[in-house]
Structure 1
Amino acid sequence: MSYLLFIKRLDDLELTKERKAQQLNRPVSEPIFSVEQQCCCWSNFKNLTDSED
Protein backbone atom coordinates (compact mmCIF):
# COMPACT_ATOMS: atom_id res chain seq x y z
CA MET A 1 0.00 0.00 0.00
CA SER A 2 2.76 2.45 0.87
CA TYR A 3 4.42 1.77 -2.49
CA LEU A 4 1.24 2.82 -4.30
CA LEU A 5 1.04 6.01 -2.28
CA PHE A 6 4.68 6.71 -3.03
CA ILE A 7 4.29 6.39 -6.81
CA LYS A 8 1.12 8.51 -6.61
CA ARG A 9 3.10 11.26 -4.88
CA LEU A 10 5.91 11.03 -7.43
CA ASP A 11 3.41 11.31 -10.25
CA ASP A 12 1.82 14.37 -8.62
CA LEU A 13 5.24 16.02 -8.39
CA GLU A 14 5.97 15.17 -12.02
CA LEU A 15 2.65 16.62 -13.19
CA THR A 16 3.37 19.82 -11.28
CA LYS A 17 6.77 20.09 -12.99
CA GLU A 18 5.18 19.48 -16.39
CA ARG A 19 2.53 22.17 -15.87
CA LYS A 20 5.14 24.68 -14.73
CA ALA A 21 7.39 23.90 -17.71
CA GLN A 22 4.44 24.21 -20.08
CA GLN A 23 3.53 27.65 -18.70
CA LEU A 24 7.12 28.81 -19.13
CA ASN A 25 7.44 27.18 -22.59
CA ARG A 26 10.44 25.17 -21.44
CA PRO A 27 11.24 21.46 -21.27
CA VAL A 28 10.81 19.69 -17.94
CA SER A 29 14.01 20.03 -15.94
CA GLU A 30 15.12 16.89 -14.11
CA PRO A 31 12.10 14.69 -14.82
CA ILE A 32 11.30 12.12 -12.15
CA PHE A 33 10.29 9.42 -14.63
CA SER A 34 12.44 8.67 -17.67
CA VAL A 35 10.89 7.65 -20.98
CA GLU A 36 11.40 3.97 -20.07
CA GLN A 37 9.72 4.47 -16.69
CA GLN A 38 6.53 6.12 -17.96
CA CYS A 39 4.66 2.84 -17.48
CA CYS A 40 5.31 3.22 -13.72
CA CYS A 41 3.53 6.55 -13.45
CA TRP A 42 0.40 6.50 -11.34
CA SER A 43 -1.63 8.09 -14.11
CA ASN A 44 -0.78 5.12 -16.38
CA PHE A 45 -0.83 2.50 -13.64
CA LYS A 46 -4.33 3.34 -12.39
CA ASN A 47 -5.84 2.77 -15.85
CA LEU A 48 -4.55 -0.78 -16.27
CA THR A 49 -7.29 -3.35 -16.64
CA ASP A 50 -5.32 -6.55 -17.16
CA SER A 51 -3.77 -7.85 -13.94
CA GLU A 52 -0.77 -9.21 -15.85
CA ASP A 53 0.17 -5.72 -17.09
Structure 2
Amino acid sequence: MSTAVTTEIEDMKQLLITLAEKHDFDFQNPHVITVSQKLDLLIVEAMKPQQSP
Protein backbone atom coordinates (compact mmCIF):
# COMPACT_ATOMS: atom_id res chain seq x y z
CA MET A 1 0.00 0.00 0.00
CA SER A 2 1.43 3.36 -1.00
CA THR A 3 2.11 6.17 1.42
CA ALA A 4 -0.39 8.40 -0.38
CA VAL A 5 -3.17 5.83 0.04
CA THR A 6 -2.26 5.29 3.69
CA THR A 7 -2.36 9.03 4.29
CA GLU A 8 -5.70 9.35 2.52
CA ILE A 9 -7.15 6.53 4.64
CA GLU A 10 -5.85 8.09 7.85
CA ASP A 11 -7.26 11.50 6.88
CA MET A 12 -10.63 9.96 6.08
CA LYS A 13 -10.62 8.10 9.43
CA GLN A 14 -10.03 11.36 11.27
CA LEU A 15 -12.82 13.04 9.31
CA LEU A 16 -15.16 10.18 10.19
CA ILE A 17 -14.29 10.46 13.89
CA THR A 18 -14.85 14.22 13.82
CA LEU A 19 -18.19 13.89 12.04
CA ALA A 20 -19.35 11.12 14.37
CA GLU A 21 -18.52 13.28 17.40
CA LYS A 22 -20.22 16.32 15.84
CA HIS A 23 -23.41 14.32 15.26
CA ASP A 24 -23.41 12.78 18.78
CA PHE A 25 -22.26 9.41 17.40
CA ASP A 26 -25.40 9.07 15.30
CA PHE A 27 -24.13 6.50 12.83
CA GLN A 28 -27.37 6.82 10.86
CA ASN A 29 -26.59 10.46 10.03
CA PRO A 30 -26.28 10.83 6.24
CA HIS A 31 -22.96 12.70 6.47
CA VAL A 32 -21.45 10.05 8.73
CA ILE A 33 -22.69 7.28 6.42
CA THR A 34 -21.27 9.00 3.32
CA VAL A 35 -17.80 9.42 4.81
CA SER A 36 -17.88 5.88 6.19
CA GLN A 37 -18.73 4.49 2.75
CA LYS A 38 -15.93 6.49 1.13
CA LEU A 39 -13.50 5.16 3.73
CA ASP A 40 -14.72 1.62 3.05
CA LEU A 41 -14.01 2.05 -0.66
CA LEU A 42 -10.50 3.37 0.02
CA ILE A 43 -9.75 0.40 2.26
CA VAL A 44 -11.05 -2.09 -0.31
CA GLU A 45 -8.94 -0.48 -3.05
CA ALA A 46 -5.87 -0.53 -0.80
CA MET A 47 -6.37 -4.22 -0.05
CA LYS A 48 -6.61 -5.26 -3.71
CA PRO A 49 -3.47 -7.00 -4.92
CA GLN A 50 -1.19 -4.86 -7.02
CA GLN A 51 -1.44 -5.80 -10.69
CA SER A 52 1.69 -6.15 -12.76
CA PRO A 53 2.00 -3.85 -15.79
TM-score, with normalisation over the residues of structure 1? 0.50
Larger Rg: 2
TM-score by length of 2: 0.50
